[in-house]
Structure 1
Amino acid sequence: MRLLTRHPVLLGLISGILLDLPFPIAGPLPLWRAVFAWMAFVPLLYGILSEANLQHPRYLRRSALAGYTCGVSWYVLNCYWIYDTMHIYGNVPGPGAAGILLLYSMVLGLYFALFALLMAICRKAFSKAAIVLACAPFFWAAIELAASRITSVPWDQLGYSQVDNFLLTRLAPYTGVYGISFTLMAGNSLLAAALLAHSVHVRLRTGVGTVLLILLLQSGSFVRPKPEPTSDYAVLLQPNLDVGVSNLWVGPEWNENAMQILNQSLVHCTPMIAGMPSVHAAVVQPKCPQDLPAPGLVAWPESPSAFRSNDPRFVALMREIATANRSPVIAGAIGEDETGEYNSAVFTAPDGNIIGRYDKIHLVPFGEFVPYREIFFFAKHLTQQVGDFNRGRYRRVFRANGHEFGIFICYESIFADEVRQFAVNGAQVFVNISDDGWYGDTSAPWQHLNMARMRAIENHRWILRDTNNGVTTAIDPLGRVTYSAPRHENTSLAVRYGYENGLTFYSRNGDVFAGLCGIISIAAIALALRFRLQIKAKVRSH
């Protein structure tokens, strides 16, 4: 390791590779891999703070470059699916798709560079590396918040690696995912402090104590709390429509598809998988009573279907499904009004009347709209699938059968501070409709699922997740996948869920913890810069 301190960029690359291990790669995450989140940053921290690197004349530049290398390499590995999405479904040539992935990684890698630079500035100012390491968790939580607010890409923040850890996720209802990220970075800092300690005794004591603490906290991945109570069931349709194929559904084809959707909505006892729909998961047929009550909800996902909110055929189909099931219906559709088109979810009451629609607020850049159209005028030609939707304005909740439903669409599930507002507005259960077919059989559907699971934990709400081709599932308020439909099948899932009324601290207050980390980070950097100026002044005076 000491030899590598002469090459902190290489240590940054090692950290980037290690950081990919505690996240889903091509399927559900094995529980044992989550432990890498406690050590992934250790090589980077060690390289930045070592005495050998500190003495280098270009210390700050080398440190920032090491952090940048870590960030770029991690984003390339973690978000490799961008290549498939752009190339296979966006019709972008291979070199162009690779260039988009690299550009994406180079832009977001700047956050890692900033983290490393802040650590290096503090190392220059403070004599002890331990003081700097104490700042690391605050810096990291603040930078994750900045990534969420500035570039709006909080994809796979560090804390998501512990979504299956019952002990650590107890922080989420208070701090959001940021508190988990903070704790993980603190563990990395303690391990780095052990390596940087000059005394063998201190090194052993700190290292052994930290490892024992990590093992204790990581044991939460094997804790199994009792199941959450349920009071209703939903029918979630999974049509498994081809992505990128225009479904005109004209004439007899519309009638045929509409009849299939109606019949599928009436199947209230279907084969399912207990937990994640992994390769080896067994599909079982539950024993259902003959006299099932009306479902609490029927849902149709965001999908490439030909549904438009103003189409009389669509209105008639929603009315027929609602009245046949005696249940409210949520359906993904293109919302239309005089202002333009929206990516929407239409809500139909049990009596067949359409109450209204939720228009997606947080659109996917270069997928559902082109930002800064004057600058990126070429994007429409690069990706033939780029939409041109308007942005919604209200986080509406819908009431039916005495219960309140909050709906968010696809990409919106990764924005914790936005999803919580549905709970504040009265939603007793969340419904997340999505089309993850754009990701193909990559890691992205599993990463996306884990982020939705964290929203359930933060707000202590059930989430009914209805997707075009999987993972269609019910997530309980502890973030556990209860039952799910097999992926890539045209089927439906009849799954139980419950309603929750209380508000967690995070639901009420949002990113207060991360904001405090940001304030503390600014204060720490201001103090470090002041010390640095004082040191320079003393040198000049002598």
Structure 2
Amino acid sequence: MRKYTPLGLALLSSILLWAAWPTSPLTFLIFIAFVPMLALADKAKSPLSYFGAAYLTLVLWNVFTTWWVGNTPIPVSGALANIANALLMVFPWMGYRSVREKLGKKAGYFALVVFWLTFEHVHLRWELSWPWLTLGNVFAQQTWAVQWYEYTGVNGGSLWVLLTNISIYELWLKYRGRKELPASYILLREAWKPLLLIVLPAAISYAMVAKARTPTGKERSVVIVQPNIDPYNEKFETNGEDPTQRFLRLSAQQTNDKTDYIVWPETALFTGGAWEHELNDRPEIQAIRVFLQKYPNAKVITGAVTLKRYNSPEEASYTARKSKTGELWDAFNSALLIDTSFNIQVYHKYKMVPGVEIIPYSRYLKFMENWAMDMGGISGSYGRTPGVEVFEDHQTKEEIVPIICYESIYGEFVARKVQLGANMIIITTNDGWWGETQGYKQHLEYGRLRAIETRRWIARCANTGVSCFIDDYGNIIAPTAYWKEAVIGGNVTPADNLTFYVKYGDYISKAAVIFSILLLIYTSIILRFIRRQNVERIKQRKS
């Protein structure tokens, strides 16, 4: 590695990161993927050269792994996402180098860990959020190794990756620095540390899988409908078969007297929008109720685009639009629970895709709303006025978390919903926007982590696939083919236990935020003051 140039190290690290990421089977490469970047701190001669090499690594990783983000009507949006996300990622690495120069290597390692975890914490919470490459997500396909996410969430996986890379880099430094000793001596004396870091968490997880118990709750019968409607060419047109009748026809293939829930995908209803106060009068809702009368236990959970009118400016949200007549209203990416009663429960999606569903911080820069993409028949940012937190099934007395598309990559967000008492999770999504790419595959895999964190069964319904069931240990059951019309039926087992992660959320990254603040205060204020005092003492002694 000593022979590598900064450019070579940057390329090597980016390739390792890309090769490790789902849906590649080479997940184990993540344990050495950052080693070249750590070596960059020794190799780069100036902060500027280090920034350039580190940024190149991160932007290539983003492009290689999430290039499909640009597979939209506005390809430049994907390029900007990759460029901007990499720029944010580089800050923890610059902090690492800075602290290392001021306080030494060990303090630098500590800084890298807490700064990176702080970055991930912030990136999950602000409106520029794009946490697709949160390090803990890398194990989404290898769920047998991260069953302990029920205690740590994906933050634990991010910490695992960082500590292992640091340990392996230190092993390499010791091997390089002791050439007078045989390699076998160094390996026997030092290699157990990174090896233990890798093996112990995986072994604990494997033991948790081995002791997994069969759920004892009463199973619920769920039917998932995958209509396979092309979101670009069919979804927002009215030609051909009536969309609602299409969904009902498909639902009838698997629905029976024992069916509890029928799930339709994101924005299945009202692609042009429907006023929430008029939902009961809509012919689509009436047709659904006629269908449900044949199946006394069944309820329909579906995606929809809904509209809400505000009675006063004080009631309106910052995303509210103004009609030509001066009325204020909002559009929502919603989920509905429909039964034979007149009580339709409406959930509003909260976690939005930046640039597609929300213009970040547009309440401060209203002109930016004009830049919003038209993806779903509604231009501008979707509203964020709360709907119901969870769906309540008055018949079974169970509560359901309706998670819409992008929300499924937010661990603590889903955990908070479960903390409210939800017994199972329904994910409705489209997954057709980015075509036959890694995007929909990675999205599917990330959902497995939510099942582990919360120990909840998931019924996942995608417009174009993949639809499936996911058990409480992250195993995918009865997956459909991508871009194929399909209807599947299966059972899920509701649960009421709360995992440690559900109770306490992202406590690891929250602790990292505190340590990051303290470290910044120390290096930028206290350390400077101490050095100034030392300089004055030296001057006094000389005088």
Letter in 2 for 1:266: A
Residue 229 of structure 2 is matched in structure 1 by: 241
The 5 A counterparts of 1:130-141 are 130-141=106-117
CA contact 1:406–1:427 (8 Å) conserved in 2: yes
Once the two structures are superposed, the pairs formed by residues 123-522 of structure 1 within 5 Å of their partners are: 123-127=100-104, 129-150=105-126, 151-166=128-143, 168-197=145-174, 198-200=177-179, 204=187, 205-207=189-191, 209-211=193-195, 213-215=197-199, 217-218=201-202, 225=210, 228-229=214-215, 231-245=219-233, 247=235, 253-254=241-242, 257-268=243-254, 293-303=257-267, 306=270, 308-309=273-274, 310=279, 312-326=282-296, 327-338=298-309, 339-349=329-339, 351-371=340-360, 372=362, 374-376=366-368, 379-380=371-372, 387-388=379-380, 389-400=382-393, 401-522=396-517
Q: % of aligned pairs identical?
A: 25
**Match in the other structure for 1:285:** none
CA positional deviation for 1:67? 2.4
Cα separation, 2, equivalents of 1:485 and 1:196 = 48
Query: Could you list the runs of 5+ residues in structure 1 that have no partner in the other structure?
Result: 270-291
Would the alpha carbon gap of residues 395 and 477 (structure 1) be closer, same or farther in structure 2, given more than 3 Å must change?
farther
- The answer to which of 450-459 and 197-206 deviates more is 197-206
In 1: Cα distance, 2:438 partner to 2:501 partner: 28
3-state SS of paired residue (1:404): strand
Distance in 1, Cα, partners of 2:429 & 2:221: 19
Q: TM-score, normalised by structure 2?
A: 0.82
Of 11, 18, 22, the match for 2:9? 11
Shift in Å, 1:112: 2.5
Q: Which moved more, 1:210-219 or 1:310-319?
A: 210-219
Q: Is the 8 A contact 2:267 2:333 kept in 1?
A: no
The alignment status of 1:70 with 2:57, answered yes or no, reads: yes
Shift of 1:65: 2.8
Looking at structure 1, the residues matched to 307 and 375 of structure 2 have their Cα atoms a distance apart, in angstroms, of 23
Match of 1:288 in 2: none
Inter-CA distance 21–218: structure 2 relative to 1 (3 Å threshold) = farther
> SS in structure 1 opposite 2:446?
helix
How far did residue 265 of structure 1 move? 1.4
Please provide the CA RMSD for this pair. Answer: 2.9
Report Cα offsets for 1:237-260 as digits up to 9, x if no partner: 000001123556769842xx4444
- Opposite residue 112 of structure 2, the aligned amino acid is A
Q: 1:258 to 1:167 in 2, by over 3 A?
A: closer
Gaps of 5+ in 2: 310-328
Partner Cα distance (1:510, 1:486) in 2: 34
Q: Deviations over 1:116-173 (max 9, x none)?
A: 111111211234x244324433332222112222331111311111134456423322
Deviations 1:303-358 (A, max 9, x none): 46545553621111221233223211111111123233211111112x35443211
Q: How many residues align structurally?
A: 493
* Structure 1 residue 300, shift from structure 2 partner: 0.8
Q: Secondary structure of 2:402's partner?
A: strand
1:13: how far off? Answer: 3.2
Give me the whole-angstrom Cα distance separating, in 1, the residues matched to 2:372 and 2:60. 28
Tell me if structure 1 keeps the 8 A contact 2:269–2:305: no
C-alpha contact 2:18 2:64 (8 A) present in aligned 1: yes
| Alignment-mate amino acid for residue 294 of structure 1 | K
Q: Contact (CA 8 Å) 1:235, 1:494: kept in 2 or not?
A: yes
Q: Is the 8 A contact 2:93 2:112 kept in 1?
A: no
Is the Cα–Cα contact under 8 Å of residues 70 and 112 in structure 1 kept in the other structure? Answer: no
Q: Within 1, Cα distance between the matches of 2:261 and 2:373?
A: 40
- For residues 160 and 403 of structure 1, the distance between their equivalents in structure 2, rounded to whole angstroms, comes to 30
TM-score (norm 1): 0.82
SS state at 2:294 partner: helix
Please state whether the residue corresponding to 1:439 is helix, strand or coil: coil
Whole-angstrom CA distance in 1 between matches of 2:80 and 2:478: 38
- Hey, what's the Cα distance between the residues in 2 that align with 1:113 and 1:248? 40
